[in-house]
Amino acid sequence: AWKSPTRSRSDMSTASGTRTFKVSVEGNIASGKSTFLDYFNLSPDVEVRTEPVEKWRNLHGHNMLALLYKDPTRWALSLQTYVQLTMLQMHTKPHERPITIMERSIFSARHCFVENLYHSGKMPTPEYIVLDEWYQWLVANTDVHVDLIVYLRTRPEVCLARMYERDRKEENKVPLAYLNGLHELHENWLVRQVTVKPPAPVLVLDANSNMSDMEHVMEEYREKIMGRS
Ligand code: DCP
């Protein structure tokens, strides 16, 4: 389903005068973003920018992601402040190829992850406001635009199974309730569109199937995702 276009193709010029098409791939934890990005990474026209999770796991020797899951109330603000910085860096890095596909965005960090931490009582209101003030300023004063959002829509139970299967040590105690909360926020934002308006048209893909089925889906939508149809 295509939703609410906000930006025309003619807006896509960059400082260097060339055009680029920027896509963000959104979805719950372990929804299959990496597989999706691996597929497009094979195309010579596409630059893939993966989520800077390795930076979050090693900030001058500190594992911020592990701290978040160990004691969210204490560390949510620190991690999400750093996530916001690394997302900003990912958005604003000069593009190298005509199409840039990014894993998540500054938008989902704010509207899904920060929102989830706040609404589940893990982030006090003053901290939430500080992050939001930063977010609002960055969106208004820097170029973080995207031209298309691809939403990998996955049932939280499927994500939970994939998360346990991949066995990332920081995530071994993440409960289904946390994934449910993130799922509802993605749905409200990208499908129901009842919270904030998405910053670009949204392509919703069913990502519950196994990887070979996903390959067919990606093949089918390939041209659309690369901004060519
Ligand atoms: N995370 C967070 N806050 C954000 C973004 C991410 O706390 N604003 C956390 C959630 C995960 C970890 O960072 O524990 C990495 O995110 P994903 O699991 O979504 O990234 P993957 O690369 O593992 O995704 P996928 O399995 O879809 O490929």
Q: What are the φ and ψ backbone dihedral angles of 202, each rounded to 5 degrees?
A: -115, 125
Domains held by the chain: number: 1
Residue 32 within any structural domain of the chain: yes
Residue 79: CATH number of its domain: 3.40.50.300
Residue 80 within any structural domain of the chain: yes
Active-site residue among 47, 103, 115, 187?
103
Asked whether the predicted pLDDT for residue 183 surpasses 90, the reply is yes
pLDDT score recorded for residue 211:
78
pLDDT tens digit string along 157-180?
Answer: 999 999 999 999 999 989 999 999
**Predicted-complex ipTM score:** 0.89
Residue 10 within any structural domain of the chain: no
Task: Provide, rounded to the nearest whole percent, the portion of the chain with pLDDT above 70.
Answer: 92
pLDDT score recorded for residue 7:
44
Residue 13 within any structural domain of the chain: no
Residue 188 within any structural domain of the chain: yes
**The sheet that has 21-27: what strands, in order across it?**
46-49, 99-103, 21-27, 148-153, 202-206
Residue 6 within any structural domain of the chain: no
User: The domain containing residue 112 runs over which residues?
Assistant: 18-225
Site to probe by mutation for ligand 1, drawn from 51, 63, 90 as the one with most ligand atoms within 8 Å of Cβ, is: 51
pLDDT tens digit string along 110-153?
Answer: 999 999 999 999 999 999 999 999 999 999 999 999 999 999 99
Residue 25 within any structural domain of the chain: yes
